[in-house]
Amino acid sequence: MKSCFDGWSPQVIDSEDKAAVIAHLEKYRFAIVTSEWEYDDTDFKKISALYSLGEIYQSAFNRQEHKEGVSTSGVNQIGGLSHGTHMVFNSTSHLSLHTDGSYIPIGSIKTSILLCKQHASQGGETVLFDSVSAFQQLQAEHPDLANILLEEQIFRRRSTGTQSGKQYAHIGPVFRRDRDGGFIGGFTLDVTADWEYSRGINPRVVEAVEYLSQLAAEGSRYHLTFPLYRGQALIMRNDKISHGRHAYTDDPAHPRTLLRGMFTREPTLIA
């Protein structure tokens, strides 16, 4: 089975070259762009205007449970924070594969953007997984296992601890069909993924997850790892690919800092 990453080579595109950016997104499900950034919410509003992404989405979880790195505009800061307990925003550790929009239906967040304000002194590479193509490979070889991941009640993502004591969760499929005959992906291996819940529903879900995890490993055609440097913004189809990061070491004077914006629309080319 082909991967959307086949033939990819590192390329940074001017954010205002709309045709080139859209073509890259359609082929590879992500694009790395550059511009003259302000490193605030105006950058995300600019990208939104270019690609008709609409308003920046802010999750109820972040809005209600966290102040560090969370702005009223919807843009979140990852890293470079002086305080806080957010397991992603305040951490330098490895971040397992996931899709954004933890406690809402998969595919709700169609576009995620990560803008690098400062890269790490060591590590912190971005990891991408072409989960939809990998799922189609699973479907071709083990349709019985693939069907498990399509079940409406098979997968739960849940919060692991909150300041308010309120717990957040969503139950749904890991993959589902889209209107065009393809699939929407929500493959997740981070701490929000409650695979024990899934195993209680169907023990064979473990086989499906192990199969996809092997395809997500380094060396697979469905896997990409690359650094994101200062001034580069990663635009991802969050409904088609999963992402994560390697652990990193900070320069205390220049800590790794990314800004994130999420959108419920996919990028569109409008002349």
Distance between the two ends of the chain, CA-based, in angstroms? 34
Distance CA 168, CA 159 (A): 5
Q: Which CATH code, of 3.90.1170.40, 3.60.130.10, 3.20.20.140, 3.40.1350.10, is assigned to 12-263? A: 3.60.130.10
Contact indicator for 229, 119 with CB cutoff of 8 Å: yes
Q: Which regions in the chain score pLDDT beneath 50? A: none
Distance CA 215, CA 218 (A): 8
Distance CA 237, CA 28 (A): 9
Span 196-229, pLDDT tens digits: 999 999 999 999 999 999 999 999 999 999 999 9
pLDDT, residue 220, reads 98
pLDDT above 70 covers what percent of the chain?
A: 89
pTM of the model: 0.94
